[in-house]
Amino acid sequence: MLVLLLHTMLLQRLLQNLYLFYFLKFHYFEFVFVLVIVFVVTVFVDLLTAVAIGMIAACVLFMKSYSDIVESHYHGTDLNSDTDQNNVWKDEESIPEQVRKKIYIIRIDGPLFFGSVTKFNDLVKDIPADAENVIIRMKLVEFMDQSGLYALETAATDLTSRGVNVYLTHIRTQPRQYAESIRLIPGLVPEENVFPQFRDCMKSIQEKLNH
């Protein structure tokens, strides 16, 4: 029993050290920055103020790091471009050639919030001027805040004003409730352009193109 306990404690300590190593490896400068701020404020002001400022600085740096991670998983793809195929998802590979020429896909992989709307806006700006159908894939968007909601609304407004058909696929409960609260759905994006699955969206677009 004692041996098992010792092994458990050793494993816990090892995991803690590995986590610390991982943290310092990727966040070394943020760690040092906060440490220096706390040290300086402690020396010249007082410990309580230093702790408060350190907490605020750590939170800001965390949000910045988290935003960078989320933004790195946002992608837009023109399926008709040979240079824009790196981020194609598996269920997009079988899209017929005649349909590929008519669509542009934006994939939001992670929450759409104030820290990531800049990347989303950049993807919208990259949509070709001759795009006819834009599909925004939201399967991995578990959460959307007010900034994300208004970024999505602005994108839908700009695109529809250009005559572009906007489609939303696999929009989850919380983002959908937000979208419906300002009538983004069905005001800007009609109910018939909101699909639970990507394949249903593609089927609908293909049927429209065939008519």
Residue 65 is predicted with a pLDDT of 63
What does the longest C-alpha to C-alpha distance in the chain come to? 75
Give the model confidence (pLDDT) of 43-72 as tens digits.
Answer: 888 878 877 887 887 777 666 665 666 555
pLDDT at 186 over 70: yes
What is residue 104's three-state secondary structure? strand
Query: What does the pLDDT average to over 167-191?
Result: 93
pLDDT digits (tens, 9 = 90+) for 119-176: 899 989 988 888 899 999 998 888 899 999 999 999 999 999 999 999 999 999 999 9
Determine the average pLDDT of the residues in 19-33: 54
14 or 75, greater pLDDT: 75
Judged by average pLDDT, the poorest of 4-13, 21-30, 110-119, 175-184 is 4-13
Per-residue pLDDT band at 20 (split at 50, 70, 90) = very low
CA distances from 114 to 107, 111, 148, 151 (A): 17, 10, 6, 9
The tokens for 185 are 């759905």
Distant-in-sequence, close-in-space partners of 46: CB < 8 Å, separation ≥ 6 = none
Tell me how far apart the alpha carbons of residues 89 and 85 are, in angstroms, rounded to a whole number.
Answer: 9
136 in Cβ contact with 104 (< 8 Å): no
E-strand spans in 127-179? 133-137, 165-169
| CB 47 within 8 Å of CB 37 | no
Specify which residues 103 forms β-bridges with: 133
Instruction: List the structure tokens of 22.
Output: 């991982």
Angle in degrees, CA 183, 100, 87, rounded to 5: 80
Q: Cα 122–177–117 angle (5° rounding)?
A: 15
Rounded-to-integer distance, Cα 116 and Cα 67, Å? 6
Average pLDDT, the chain: 78
The model's confidence at residue 110, banded by pLDDT at 50, 70 and 90, is: confident
